[in-house]
Structure 1
């Protein structure tokens, strides 16, 4: 199966489209292969895979790890649907402080590449939304940071009202107070 890469409104955040074959048995898709990833021009190596299951209205984010533990993520919704968001934290970027969002669904074959230097988060649009993310770094609690998902400076337009949010995410600092070290 081939992969198709398309840009988003923010440089470096990419839509990754993979093929899907359907028949009377159901469907099959190849979500990742090192060869496919390399042919598409990516040099990143994945060190950790994460799965999360969320109820409708659950918000997770906006999370990132500061350098040297910066983490890129290839995010795919395996079942259900989410609205996935990346916020540019690269201080020297023309899109610093801007966000891009995409709906990812278990039936779409669409993933979002969120590179190092971006905060990432999503809201679950359906019950039991299962999200798989491949990560370029291991989870490092000492490097973990977050930005408040309702920061008015960012103005993220969540398509549904988040109803389940962790205390940690509710208490996250605003963008202008957040620690960032990305160029």
Structure 2
């Protein structure tokens, strides 16, 4: 397993060791001891989530607030996404900055997102199966978000146009400066 910390402290890209032969591919997508040793902290995941999306869907930017904040380990089972993480930790040197990378069912990368960050992704393939582990239970009253095209964050989502598919909720999320004036 190769683990690389992004410029957002505590946010890691994880690349598993791949074993491939004439039968196909095998890899460990998660192994608690190796994972915790690699990121230097103990994490107890309590909830697994999975979504299926068609091409052009953008989900995010989402987060959980306060005592219900969640660290996440995200991966793509099928397809490809542009994954985006925004640092919302006010005491962080990278507060308000973002990290993005492509993850897919072919590259088998996963991303560990610590508490205090917003997360979103844009589907780049015809179908995406997206899976993630959370270290805290979902609590609807603690849900928060930032609109994907916030001009202050200036996230480069690549080529997207009016055909982008957003939920009504995601379309109407507040701007970064409304939440963090």
Instruction: Give the deviation of 1:93 after TM superposition.
Output: 1.1
Using a 3 Å threshold, how does the CA distance of structure 1 residues 118 and 147 change in structure 2: closer, same or farther?
A: same
| Structure 2 alignment gaps of length 5 or more | none
Matched, 1:171 2:161: no
**1 CA distance for matches of 2:132 and 2:159?**
22
Q: What is the CA–CA distance in structure 1 between the aligned matches of 2:160 and 2:147, rounded to whole Å? A: 15
Match of 2:24 in 1: 26
2:69 corresponding residue in structure 1: 70
Q: Verify: 1:146 aligned to 2:112, yes or no.
A: no
Partner SS state of residue 132, structure 1 = strand
TM-score normalised by the chain length of structure 2:
0.94
Unaligned runs of 5+ in 1: none
Q: What is the SS of the residue equivalent to 1:165?
A: coil
Q: Can you list the C-alpha shifts for 1:47-84, whole angstroms capped at 9, x where unaligned?
A: 10111111111000000000100001111111100000
Q: How many residues align?
A: 178
Under a length normalisation based on structure 1, what TM-score does the superposition of the two structures give? 0.93
**Offset at residue 12 of structure 1 (A):** 1.4
Flag as ranges the 4+ runs of structure 1 deviating above 3 A.
none
Q: Displacement of 1:178 after TM fit?
A: 2.2
Name the residue aligned to 1:130: 129
Aligned position for 1:46: 45
Question: 3-state DSSP class of the match of 1:177?
Answer: helix
Q: Confirm or deny that 1:80 pairs with 2:72.
A: no
Q: Once the 2 structures are TM-superposed, how far is the Cα of residue 179 of structure 1 from its aligned partner?
A: 6.7
Indicate the RMSD between aligned Cα atoms, in angstroms: 1.4
Q: Supply the distance in 1 between the matched residues of 2:36 and 2:100 (Cα, whole angstroms).
A: 25
Question: Displacement, 1:109?
Answer: 2.1
One of 12, 15, 22 as aligned partner of 1:14: 12
CA distance in 2, matches of 1:38, 1:73: 13
